[in-house]
């Protein structure tokens, strides 16, 4: 079982057509035909969208994405048109709403990895490969890879796992030329972001991008380099051979799998609401990621 514990009702705004409720974002179309992307405070873990929201998460993720888009603008065009609130939108959409180009999205999660963990580690332990790419012997959880690698995944529906696929499979799905462009752009953006994060004492272990086409131009879309789409590790605590502390929802995941939550991940039951201390600690992690990366104070 998985999906939404409680499916949210999208807000109706005159002049906007609601298109889709994503795990975290609500998508609308405005009268000009542009995409209105509203980031909620929802959080997903273990393929569930949890029944408890994390205050400010939508704004933190939106502001962090905007900061990165700006840092990356010379490498790849992005989908942001403006941050102006659509007329008639609720005031609480401010800071978490982006007007974006409506792109023809590619059905590929473009993942770059500089370190080994998560699904990459699981595949490595089986076969010494990640997405079919051969890796050296002796790597452990958290090891730095010899160089960053492109490890694409297919995009899953709500409640399904994304599945790692080979580069050849991506080329079959989107064509060889587009696959090459995706790999090139993903690794270029990862390299830039990794260097920026490292200067701020943060290791960018891995991250996921989504791209779409505007006519024939490949454009960086969705959110970028947030704690939801990336693994950020404090550099001074990095220690290969164990799970790394991180600036994301690890606190939630640890609590959900602890005895205190009373939840069995493998049961048919939806996860329970989060207690206040888990909400607060998670909000603090997201804010800390924003502040450390951007150097700005969250307000
Ligand atoms: N410029 C764009 N044009 C069209 N669709 C976009 C654009 N940018 C992002 N999207 C899509 O908007 C949705 C964002 O919402 P959200 O991330 O909540 O969705 P999701 O796909 O359910 O979750 P996840 O991506 O975490 O698996 C994604 O489906 C994404 O592919
Ligand atoms: Mg998404």
Q: Is residue 73 in a domain?
A: no
| CA nearest to 8, candidates 22, 252, 71, 19 | 22
Q: How far is the CA of 26 from the centre of ligand 1 (A)?
A: 9
> Do residues 261 and 267 make contact, with C-beta atoms less than 8 angstroms apart?
no
Tens of pLDDT along 242-280? 999 999 898 999 999 999 999 999 998 999 999 999 999
pLDDT at 159: 62
Q: Is residue 173 in a domain?
A: yes
Q: Is residue 194 in a domain?
A: yes
pLDDT at 1: 52
pLDDT at 155: 80
DSSP type of residue 78: B
Q: How far is the CA of 222 from the centre of ligand 1 (A)?
A: 6
| CA nearest to 225, candidates 257, 197, 249, 266 | 197
List the beta bridge partners of residue 212. Answer: 105, 219
Q: How many domains in the chain?
A: 1
Residue 98 CA to chain centroid, in angstroms? 16
Tokens, residue 157: 């529906």
pLDDT at 93 over 60: yes
Q: How far apart are CA 104 and CA 89, in angstroms?
A: 25
CATH number, domain of 214, equals 3.30.470.20
Q: Is residue 110 in a domain?
A: yes
Would you say the C-alpha torsion 66, 296, 185, 243 has a positive or negative sign? Answer: negative
| Binding site membership of 99 for ligand 1 (Cβ less than 6 Å) | no
Q: Is residue 108 in a domain?
A: yes
Ligand minimally distant from the alpha carbon of residue 27:
1
Q: Which helix (H) or strand (E) holds 170?
A: helix 167-174
Tens of pLDDT along 208-241? 999 999 999 999 999 999 999 999 999 999 999 9
Pocket probe mutation, ligand 1, options 17, 78, 222, 228, max atoms within 8 Å of Cβ = 222
The per-residue pLDDT of the chain, averaged, comes to 96
Pocket probe mutation, ligand 1, options 220, 221, 224, max atoms within 8 Å of Cβ = 221
DSSP type of residue 107: S
Q: How far apart are CA 222 and CA 237, in angstroms?
A: 30
pLDDT at 79 over 90: yes
Share of the chain above pLDDT 90, in %: 93
Nearest C-alpha to atom 9 of ligand 1 is from which residue? 222
pLDDT at 160 over 80: no
Q: Is residue 1 in a domain?
A: no
pTM: 0.96
Q: Is residue 195 in a domain?
A: yes
Share of the chain above pLDDT 70, in %: 98
Q: How far is the CA of 200 from the centre of ligand 1 (A)?
A: 28
| Binding site membership of 24 for ligand 1 (Cβ less than 6 Å) | yes
| Binding site membership of 38 for ligand 1 (Cβ less than 6 Å) | no
Domain that holds residue 143: 104-237
| Binding site membership of 25 for ligand 1 (Cβ less than 6 Å) | yes
| Binding site membership of 96 for ligand 1 (Cβ less than 6 Å) | no
Q: How far is the CA of 234 from the centre of ligand 1 (A)?
A: 28
Q: Which helix (H) or strand (E) holds 98?
A: strand 97-100
Q: Is residue 213 in a domain?
A: yes
Residue 35 CA to chain centroid, in angstroms? 19
Tens of pLDDT along 14-63? 999 999 999 999 999 999 999 999 999 999 999 899 999 999 999 999 99
pLDDT at 162: 83
| Binding site membership of 204 for ligand 1 (Cβ less than 6 Å) | no
| Binding site membership of 49 for ligand 1 (Cβ less than 6 Å) | no
| Binding site membership of 23 for ligand 1 (Cβ less than 6 Å) | yes
């Amino acid at each position: 079982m998985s999906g939404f514990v409680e499916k949210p009702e999208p807000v109706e705004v005159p002049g906007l057509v609601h298109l889709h409720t994503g795990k975290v974002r609500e998508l609308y179309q405005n009268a000009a035909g542009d995409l209105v992307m509203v980031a909620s405070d929802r959080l997903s873990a273990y393929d569930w969208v949890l029944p408890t929201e994390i205050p400010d998460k939508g704004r933190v993720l939106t502001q962090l994405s905007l900061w990165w888009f700006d840092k990356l603008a010379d490498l790849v065009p992005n989908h942001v048109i403006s941050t102006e609130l659509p007329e008639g939108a609720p005031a609480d959409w401010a800071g978490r709403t982006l007007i974006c180009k409506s792109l023809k999205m590619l059905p590929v999660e473009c993942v770059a990895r500089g370190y080994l963990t998560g699904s990459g580690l699981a595949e490595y332990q089986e076969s010494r490969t990640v997405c079919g790419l051969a890796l050296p012997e002796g790597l452990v959880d958290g090891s730095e890879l010899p160089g960053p690698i492109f490890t694409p995944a297919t995009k899953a529906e709500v409640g399904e796992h994304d599945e790692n696929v080979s580069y050849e499979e991506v080329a079959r799905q989107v064509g060889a030329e587009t696959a090459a462009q995706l790999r090139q752009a993903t690794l270029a953006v990862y390299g830039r972001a990794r260097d920026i994060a490292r200067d701020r004492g943060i290791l960018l272990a891995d991250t996921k991008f989504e791209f779409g086409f505007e006519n024939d131009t490949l454009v960086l879309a969705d959110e970028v380099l947030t704690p939801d789409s990336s693994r950020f590790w404090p550099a001074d605590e990095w220690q290969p051979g164990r799970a790394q502390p991180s600036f994301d929802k690890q606190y939630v995941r640890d609590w959900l799998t602890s005895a205190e939550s009373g939840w069995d991940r493998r049961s048919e039951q939806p996860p329970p609401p989060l207690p206040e201390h888990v909400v607060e600690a998670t909000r603090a992690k997201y804010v800390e990621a924003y502040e450390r990366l951007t150097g700005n104070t969250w307000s």
